[in-house]
């Protein structure tokens, strides 16, 4: 009895991934950035990519990516991460290159860079965190802000007549020839986290197999700027957000174009 118990308790089932530094996240309680960092770190560990990776950190709440991930990382101007990743990948085609970008970063100021990197089929991976707002600068309207959603710059709620409609990036990019993989996931429940991890792994595999551009859009929380308790924020993701931003795979290329 005693011996059996010992084996159970000595078996490690949960540990800090080597790619994740022993540092405390600065993110707000209930924010998903931390969870998404962990998923990336676990995938990099499992795929043994740590020593072969160059990451591109965004502007936004995740600007301090290099404080958490034990990888070579370069800091990008707002929205330009896909262009920087292009420059890295062309110089180092055998390295694993990824960007981590928020929705203000990728879908607003950096719209041209993401569309063109995707369209060129740059062989790199993008993790796109969609929390329907600009977190770092204090909760202003993002291109992904839902209709009716109040933000600090849409105080009456987003109205399509003046601000247009929320952009569905995963679908938009899936329409481009150069894209190998485009999917949307959430991390709002353990089951969703497992699926998100599989998506990130698939996206990274695409790059390793030279299939071209891959992107994982992750629906994420910003309890602070949404003015919500963490648990209510989770509910918003699985309710209102998933309704407008459906989960699923929008494109998955089976074979590399360049074989």
Ligand X SMILES: Cc1ncc(C[n+]2csc(CCOP(=O)(O)OP(=O)(O)O)c2C)c(N)n1
Residues of this chain that bind another protein (CB under 8 A)? 50-54, 56-57, 63-64, 66, 69-77, 80, 83-92, 95-96, 112-113, 116
Segment near ligand X (CB under 6 A); pick from 19-27, 60-68, 90-98, 235-243? 60-68
Q: What token pair was written down for 221?
A: 């929380």
CA distances in angstroms from 155 to 141, 161, 226, 240, 246, listed in the order given? 9, 15, 12, 19, 26
How far is Cα 30 from Cα 237, in angstroms, rounded to an integer?
Answer: 12
Nearest to 106 by CA among 44, 54, 182, 12: 182
Q: Residue 93 in contact with residue 123, Cβ under 8 Å?
A: yes
DSSP state for residue 108 in the 8-state scheme: I
Tell me the two tokens of residue 83: 């262009």
Q: By CB under 6 A, how many residues form the interface with ligand X?
A: 17
Residue 195 near which of ligand X, ligand SF4, another protein, none (CB within 5-8 Å, type-dependent): none
What residues numbered 83-112 form the site for ligand X, per CB under 6 A? 102-105
Question: Minimum distance from CB of 24 to ligand X (Å)?
Answer: 18
CB 46 within 8 A of CB 26: no
* Segment contacting ligand X by CB under 6 A, of 15-23, 34-42, 135-143, 157-165: 135-143
Binding partner selected for residue 83 from another protein, ligand X, ligand SF4, none, CB under the kind-specific 5 to 8 Å limit:
another protein
Give the Cα-Cα-Cα angle 22, 23, 25 (nearest 5 degrees): 135
185 binds ligand X (CB under 6 A): no
Question: What three-state secondary structure class fits 250?
Answer: strand
Q: Please spell the DSSP secondary structure of 216-232, one letter per residue.
A: EEEE---HHHHT--HHH
Shortest distance, position 63 Cβ to another protein, whole Å: 7
Rule CB under 6 A: is residue 142 a binding residue for ligand X? Answer: yes
Among 40, 49, 57, 62, the residue binding ligand X under the rule CB under 6 A is 62
Minimum CB separation of residue 77 from ligand SF4 in Å reads: 19
By three-state DSSP, how is residue 110 classified?
A: coil
Q: What are phi and psi of 182, to 5 degrees?
A: -140, 125
28 binds, among ligand X, ligand SF4, another protein, none (CB under 5 to 8 A by kind): ligand SF4
- Nearer Cβ to ligand SF4 (101/131): 131
* CA atoms of 244 and 130, how far apart (whole Å): 12
Nearer CB in complex with ligand X: 37/253: 37
Token readout for 87 is 């420059």
User: Which is nearer to ligand SF4, 82 or 135 (by Cβ)?
Assistant: 135
* Part in contact with ligand X (CB under 6 A); list of ranges 58-66, 165-173, 196-204, 236-244: 58-66
The least distance separating another protein from the CB of residue 187, rounded to whole angstroms, comes to 25
Binding site residues, ligand X, CB under 6 A: 59-62, 78, 102-105, 129, 131, 133-137, 142
């Amino acid at each position: 009895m005693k011996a059996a118990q010992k084996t159970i308790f000595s078996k490690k089932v949960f540990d800090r991934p080597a790619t994740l530094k022993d540092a405390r996240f600065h993110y707000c309680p209930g924010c998903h950035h931390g969870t998404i960092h962990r998923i990336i770190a676990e995938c990099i560990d499992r795929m043994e990519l740590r020593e072969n990776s160059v990451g591109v950190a965004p502007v936004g709440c995740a600007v301090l990516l290099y404080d958490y991930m034990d990888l070579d990382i370069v800091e990008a101007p707002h929205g330009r991460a896909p262009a920087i990743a292009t420059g890295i990948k062309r110089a180092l085609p055998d390295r694993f290159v990824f960007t981590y970008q928020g929705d203000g970063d990728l879908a607003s100021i950096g719209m041209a860079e993401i569309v063109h990197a995707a369209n060129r089929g740059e062989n790199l991976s993008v993790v796109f965190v969609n929390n329907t707002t600009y977190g770092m600068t204090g909760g202003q309207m993002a291109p992904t802000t839902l209709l009716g959603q109040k933000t600090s710059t849409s105080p009456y709620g987003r109205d399509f007549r003046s601000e247009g409609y929320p952009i569905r990036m995963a679908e938009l990019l899936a329409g481009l020839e150069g894209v190998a993989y485009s999917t949307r996931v959430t991390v709002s429940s353990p089951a969703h986290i497992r699926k998100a991890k599989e998506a990130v792994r698939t996206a990274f595999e695409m790059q390793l197999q030279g299939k071209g551009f891959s992107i994982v859009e992750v629906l994420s929380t910003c309890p602070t700027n949404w003015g919500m308790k963490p648990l209510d924020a989770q509910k918003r993701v699985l309710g209102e957000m998933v309704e407008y931003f459906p989960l699923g795979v929008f494109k998955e290329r089976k074979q590399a174009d360049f074989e």
